[in-house]
Structure formats: structure tokens, C-alpha cells
Structure 1
Amino acid sequence: MKSRYILGLFTLFVCLVTNAQQISDTSFGKGLINYTAKDSTFSVKFAPRIQTRFTSNWEYNGTEYDDPAYNFLVRRARLKFNGFAYSPKLKYKIELGLSNGDLAGANEYNKNTPRYIFDAVIMWNFHENFELWAGQTKLPGNVERIVSSGNMQLIDRSILNSNFNIDRDVGIQLHHTTELGGNFIMKEKLAISQGEGRNVTEGNEGGLQYTGRVEFFPFGSFESRGEFTQGDLKRESTPKLMFALVYDFNNDAVRTRSNSGTYMILDDGSLYQTNITTIFVDTMFKYKGFAFMGEYTSRNADKAAAINPDGSTTGDVVAVGNAFNAQASYLFDNNYELTTRYSTVDFDDIIGEDLQTQYTLGVSKYIVGHKLKVQADISYGTLDGTKDHIMLRTGFDLHF
């Protein structure tokens, strides 16, 4: 029912746009529809995108690798809208998900409904270099998570990101840019959010979440905000570097991965609460087709194990530990790119999991940049230094 409702709204939107507005000339990769109202009081860019994946996975059983498991998957199917309303200083972004992976995660705290909404945020440039954001969107966390899934140079993000990212939440953010002299730029981003992740409807179950990210650009800005696009597709003519620090504090968090993961429910039905701190240090470098991205993260909790009032444990534990990720790539003149990645995840002893390490080698063919590309990668994973799995993935992205 809800899918038909969304499809109906989309059809109505297209009809209204094509009949009532000025449609500008555009080309593939710059939006399926770009238009501005005749009185210039608002604009809309509509850009759907899909990502399809094929995965083969060989698990090591202690003596040999098992027969491969295969999986064909529509990994992402999104509808994206953005533009301005009333004034170019008041921008907005809406992103809806349609694939199974996009919608998964229904629970009692979002009324057991599919999680359609990824982004629903307004951004107001209220004074000079200040921007106030309000709504649901990505928190200013690690660089790999801020990079859109449509702008990745490998099939998917690293094991650091899947275990430690702070993703999206509902709240407010303040962004500011400071020019420090010459080409040196600093960007500061602060966020106060609900602390339970996206699409939560049942109110604030714990405390609030506070996030701060500071970025340094000693050689000036990247082309086209390239600090949040993997690979040097713009072939930077001079070296460009970003170095960033992130501090995130989730007060009285109720989930095992700060604002994501399992809700920690006690035997009496109430939620276990503990303070969770996550830090990130990351960097991005690009020059003449070469790109490097590096990340380190650490998560700590006041009391990681969920404990009932009688002193017994529930089995839920905050995913405390640290992780490292580094990837490097080179874009050849024919728009083929070769990428390598090395990632580790080292949970604290209380988690009871061995050190995870993953080595990945990937190749991409960019037909229209990140908007139309074909990719493949192969990963070799270990647990505590012993064989664990081999994974081969291929896929394509199409982004209007």
C-alpha cells in the first residue's frame, strides 16, 4: 500500500513538473529532471539511482573453503530530490529508499514500519559562512560514511564503517567555514541529535547525541567537494589534502552501536542506558589521478555489558573496540581505476570476537564518472590471522 502511495506521488510530481514549470536542458548524470519555478521562488532536481550487485562468497571451514554461496541483489534503489525553497539560501534534500536493504530495520521504536526516509533536511545559509541544518540526515562522522554510496570506488564500504559508523539521525547541525590565510581552510560541523538513528518515531529513549567534526584543508578546497568523493576523477592539478577529527558522545545510549545496532532491553522490559563515546581520525588526499583515504576509529562505553537490576547480564554488549581502514587508487587515462584497501576491526575482549582483517583489490570503469560505472572487487578476510573467507563482487551503478 505504501509503495503504491509513493509511486502515485512520484507520478503526480512528474506530471506537475512537465506541465507547469520550465524544464532546463540537462544531460545524463545531472538529474532526470531539473527545473526552476517561473518566479524563481523554488527549484527541484530529481535524480533516481540504482545499484545492482552479484556476490560469490567462499567460507573457510577450518580445513578447506566451502562451495561458494551466490547472491544477486538490488543493493540500493533511491529517489533523490534537492533544490531551494523561497531563496537560494534555503536549500533542502529528500532521499527515499525502495530496496529491501534500504527499508530493513523495522522495530517497535519505529512502529514496525519500513524505513523509507534516508534524508529529509533543510539547510539555511543564515549568515555569511554559517549554515543551519534541521531534519534527518547523515551526522558529521567518518569520511567513508559521509561519502555517498553512489560515489564509492569499491563495491561497498569497509568493515570499519559497517561496525563503527554513526550514520544518520534526527536533529540540528551547524556548519561553518573559516579561512585561515592563503589557501588554508578549516570547516567546523556540530550536531545535536536524538541518538537512536533514522526513522525512530517513539520519542527519545535515552539522552541526546552530540557530534563535532573539524576538517583542515592546508592546500585549499578540492574540486567539486572531492573530499567526499572516492577516487580522483577530477584529476586534481595540485595536491589536495583533508585531515579531520571527530568526537561523538551519545548520552545514555540504548543501542549496541551508539545510535544503531540492537536495542539493549532488560528483563523488566526497560532499556539499558550507558554513555558511549566514539572518535574518528580520517584523511583524504588526491593528486593527478592518485587518491588515498585513511581512517581510524575507537568506541568506548562507561559500562559496555548490559546489566539487569539484580546484577545479571542480558547478553547485550556495546560494540567497543577500534578499527583502521586505508585505501589507495589510481585512475588511468582510459578511466579505468585500480583500488586497494586494507581494513582491520579489533573489538575489546568483552565482545569475544577475534581480530578481523580484510584485504581488497578492485577495478572500476567509469563511463560517466560515478553516475554510470561498472565495478568488481575481490576480498580476502582473516580472523585472528587465520583464513576466514574469500569474496568476489561485481556490480554497476546508474545515477541520473
Structure 2
Amino acid sequence: MIIRFVIFLFFVLTYAQLWAEGSDSTKAPAFYYGDKGWHLESADKVYSTDIQLRLQFRYAYPYDQDPVTLNDVNIEEQHIFRISRARLKIGGHVFSPKFKYYMEYELSNSNLLDFWGMYSFHKSFKIMVGQYKARYNTERVISSGKQETLDRSILTRPFTIDRQTGITFLGNLAGEGALNFSYWAAVFSGTGQGDFVADDSYPMWKGRLQWNMFGSVMKFVGSDLEKSKSWRGYIAGGLVNNHSQFTRFSQSGGGQLEGYSDPSLPGQYHITQFFIESAFKKNGISWQQEFHKKNILDKETSNTRTLYGNYMQVGSFPSSYLPSFPSKLELAFRYAFYIPDSNQTDLKQTEYTFSTNWFFKEHLNKLTAEVSYFDMDEILGLNPGWRFRFQWDVSF
């Protein structure tokens, strides 16, 4: 943790020195508060910095995290108050507006989450290098502060590839109308956040192809805050191939799904997975959907397991069609199911979540109240039922 923090400070101070040397000292730099926090830009626009602090204050009952095992369910009911996230974000461009960079640091546990640079040769071809969320499925790419619901679905834990270290080639093939596509092709270490080297000779390969059928690229942001007058959206799919010692990834790095133990061989688990998703917005109504399938081969035992799941989510501002409702109120609903083993469909896990948002300043300042119901494996006694959570998410 200390090493990560030192690296983080080193690059911040180095950038500050470059900014001071490169700026035109005869003109005053621009300094103001914007949507990305405090913005500082040199008079010649060669250097810029945005600094933002984000906090999440959360209440949960009778538990907070999605239940996974019997131990998660058989706990004493609790009223939980906590700061679920405290993040420092620094981003901008250096040397040229074409060369962007971004850093994100979790203050509560001294964890460097993101550190990357991206150079834009052209709209159709960019290169991104560093540690960051792999541009794979939408639900994980969208920031937790820009979602419709308080947190992500039960599919995230088993299917996300989360943050990885590596290189991504991306761009938008901006054809007219429906001939508009975006792509992401990446090579990663495949060992998760904080690890920079593959644990065997096989890196992680990842691809995503997105069809922007309405002719423009829709940002990875939940809710149709703009109350779009015309349709926006996309259909996308992606693939991952990886050999590593892990069967899942999270903000904590690599880990194991239920039924898997720490491996004895480098690259012991060969994972292949894919997803198909859709997202649309119009007139305050938003839609998200993802289907995932994942195969895990244990190369030591030759056992193969297949996991799959799907979620569907819809959000709406009632004021778009019922003017008597407050314009700052949004309602959202999500249904998700997850089957951890295709040979045992009776282990199916289901989530129903109803969420309400009140936007003071779009996603920069909002209140979220959420009720979820989990229907899980009753054979093992996993039947956790209802959960209530309330959260204030603010960035400044």
C-alpha cells in the first residue's frame, strides 16, 4: 500500500513540475470549478488537471454486501452505517490534448485503483496503457457513482474481469447512421489489480465490439438525465481468454469463486467467457441488459464448469410523461439471475431490486434508496430475503 501511494504522489508531483515549466508564464492559467471538480489549465492549453473528491455515505439493513455463502446469511441482523467509498480523482491532459491521463485513489484503504495514459492518434485509433477497468461489460465499466441503482447486480462478482494492467487499442469507426461501430482490443497481465506480470506464459486477451445503431456513441453513464429527444443506444458483445491462478476478479485483485481453492500450479485455471448486452435511452427512460457465460477449466483436475446469468434493468423519470411528478425523481428496477453451475440449475440465484434516485446535481450529488429481494439456494439454506439500503453520493 505504501509503495502504491508513493508512486501516486511521484506522478502527481512530476506532472505539477512539467505543468509549471510548460505553461506560458506571460498569461494567467484558467482555474474554475466544473463537472469534474477543480479544473486548472495552462494558458496555452497544453496542460490541464481536474481534481475531484468523491464520497459515499451508506446505511444498510440487515446486511450490506450481496450474500454469497451460508456464512453471509446466518449473521445477526445489523444496522450498518459506513463510508463505502472515499476516492480522490485526478485527470487531464499533458504535453497535448491528445495525451490524456487519469489516476484514482481509494483513501479509506490506501489503494491505487486507476493509473493510465491514453494517446489519441485519431478518433478511430487510440492506445490506452496502465491499470484500469477493462472495457468489457457496461455494468462494471460504469462508475458506481453514475449508476441507476445503489450498486451492481449479483452478476458482477462471478463475471467481471475488473481492473487489469495492460494495453488497449480502441476507437470509433464513425460510419453514417447505423454504420457506426466502436471497438476495444486488449492484452492484460490477467492477474488482476495490483499485479503487473502474468503468473505463466499466457496473458489475458479481451475484445469488445459495439454497434451504435443510432449513429452516435452513448457514454457509459446510467440514467437518461438529458431526457433524450431521440433514441440513443447500442448492442455489444465481448470475449475473454485467460490462464491464471484466479477464477474471479474484484477491486481487491484476483480471488476464487465458491468451490475453488488456491491453486498449486501457475495458470491453473483456463477461463473463456463472453457476453452480449444492450443499452438504450430516450425521453428519460433507460434500459440495460447483459447475458454472460463463463467456462472454467481446472488444468490440474481437467474438470470444467460453466456459469451463466442475465440481468435486465429499466429506469424512468416519471415527470417525462406525468408532469405532476418531481423532475429530480427517478425510479429503477432490476431483475437478475445467476447459475453458478450449468449442471445444477437448482442452485439458481435471483435478485429483484427496486431503486429510487433524487438528483440534486445529476450524479455529482444524489440520494438513492433501494430495496432488494434475494431468492437463493434453499437446499443449502441460502434464503436471505429482503435488504434495504440508503446512500448519499457526492462529488466535489
Common fold, TM-score beyond 0.5? yes
Question: What is the rounded CA distance, in whole Å, between the counterparts of 1:394 and 1:338 in structure 2?
Answer: 14
Decide whether aligned partners of structure 1 residues 289 and 345 sit closer, same or farther in structure 2, where only a CA change above 3 A counts.
same
1:25 equivalent among 32, 35, 38: 32
Is residue 2:119 matched to residue 1:124? yes
Question: What is the rounded CA distance, in whole Å, between the counterparts of 1:171 and 1:239 in structure 2?
Answer: 34
Decide whether aligned partners of structure 1 residues 272 and 5 sit closer, same or farther in structure 2, where only a CA change above 3 A counts.
closer
Query: How much has 1:191 moved relative to structure 2?
Result: 0.5
Q: Contact 2:246/2:269 (CA < 8 Å) preserved in 1?
A: no
Decide whether aligned partners of structure 1 residues 356 and 124 sit closer, same or farther in structure 2, where only a CA change above 3 A counts.
same
Question: What is the rounded CA distance, in whole Å, between the counterparts of 1:270 and 1:217 in structure 2?
Answer: 42
Query: How much has 1:23 moved relative to structure 2?
Result: 3.8
Question: What is the rounded CA distance, in whole Å, between the counterparts of 2:203 and 2:140 in structure 1?
Answer: 21
Query: What is the 5 A alignment of 1:68-217?
Result: 68-100=77-109, 116-182=111-177, 184-200=179-195, 203-206=197-200, 207-217=202-212
Is residue 2:220 matched to residue 1:233? no
Decide whether aligned partners of structure 1 residues 363 and 192 sit closer, same or farther in structure 2, where only a CA change above 3 A counts.
same
Describe the superposition over 1:227-273 as per-residue Cα deviations: whole angstroms up to 9, x where unpaired. x11111111110112100011111x221022673239544xx54451
Q: Which ranges in structure 2 are unaligned for 5 or more consecutive residues?
A: 320-326
Question: What is the rounded CA distance, in whole Å, between the counterparts of 1:397 and 1:319 in structure 2?
Answer: 38
Query: How much has 1:69 moved relative to structure 2?
Result: 1.9
Decide whether aligned partners of structure 1 residues 128 and 361 sit closer, same or farther in structure 2, where only a CA change above 3 A counts.
closer
Decide whether aligned partners of structure 1 residues 5 and 351 sit closer, same or farther in structure 2, where only a CA change above 3 A counts.
farther
Describe the superposition over 1:272-318 as per-residue Cα deviations: whole angstroms up to 9, x where unpaired. 513211111111110100011000101102337x54xxx9xxxxx98
Query: How much has 1:7 moved relative to structure 2?
Result: 11
SS at 2:145's partner residue? helix
Residue 358 of structure 1 corresponds to: 351
Residue 391 of structure 1 corresponds to: 387
Question: What is the rounded CA distance, in whole Å, between the counterparts of 1:175 and 1:15 in structure 2?
Answer: 28
Q: Contact 1:347/1:353 (CA < 8 Å) preserved in 2?
A: no
Residue 111 of structure 1 corresponds to: none
- TM-score when normalising by structure 1: 0.81
Residue 41 of structure 1 corresponds to: 46
Amino acid at match of 2:246: R
Decide whether aligned partners of structure 1 residues 349 and 330 sit closer, same or farther in structure 2, where only a CA change above 3 A counts.
closer
Question: What is the rounded CA distance, in whole Å, between the counterparts of 1:388 and 1:70 in structure 2?
Answer: 16
Query: What is the 5 A alignment of 1:328-343?
Result: 328-333=314-319, 334-343=327-336
Query: What is the 5 A alignment of 1:302-321?
Result: 302-303=297-298, 307=301, 320-321=306-307
Describe the superposition over 1:8-36 as per-residue Cα deviations: whole angstroms up to 9, x where unpaired. 88998999999x97243334xx2332011
Describe the superposition over 1:189-244 as per-residue Cα deviations: whole angstroms up to 9, x where unpaired. 1000000011115x32132000000001111225xx43x11111111110112100
Decide whether aligned partners of structure 1 residues 11 and 217 sit closer, same or farther in structure 2, where only a CA change above 3 A counts.
closer
Q: Contact 2:368/2:391 (CA < 8 Å) preserved in 1?
A: yes
Residue 268 of structure 2 corresponds to: 273
- TM-score when normalising by structure 2: 0.82
Query: How much has 1:150 moved relative to structure 2?
Result: 1.3
Q: Contact 2:49/2:91 (CA < 8 Å) preserved in 1?
A: yes
Q: Contact 2:59/2:79 (CA < 8 Å) preserved in 1?
A: yes
SS at 2:175's partner residue? strand
Q: Which ranges in structure 1 are unaligned for 5 or more consecutive residues?
A: 104-115, 312-316
Describe the superposition over 1:47-102 as per-residue Cα deviations: whole angstroms up to 9, x where unpaired. 1111111110279x9xx9986322112111111111111111111111111224xx
Question: What is the rounded CA distance, in whole Å, between the counterparts of 2:247 and 2:279 in structure 1?
Answer: 29
Question: What is the rounded CA distance, in whole Å, between the counterparts of 1:379 and 1:31 in structure 2?
Answer: 31
Question: What is the rounded CA distance, in whole Å, between the counterparts of 2:248 and 2:359 in structure 1?
Answer: 35
The total of aligned residue pairs comes to: 365
- Percent same amino acid at aligned positions? 26
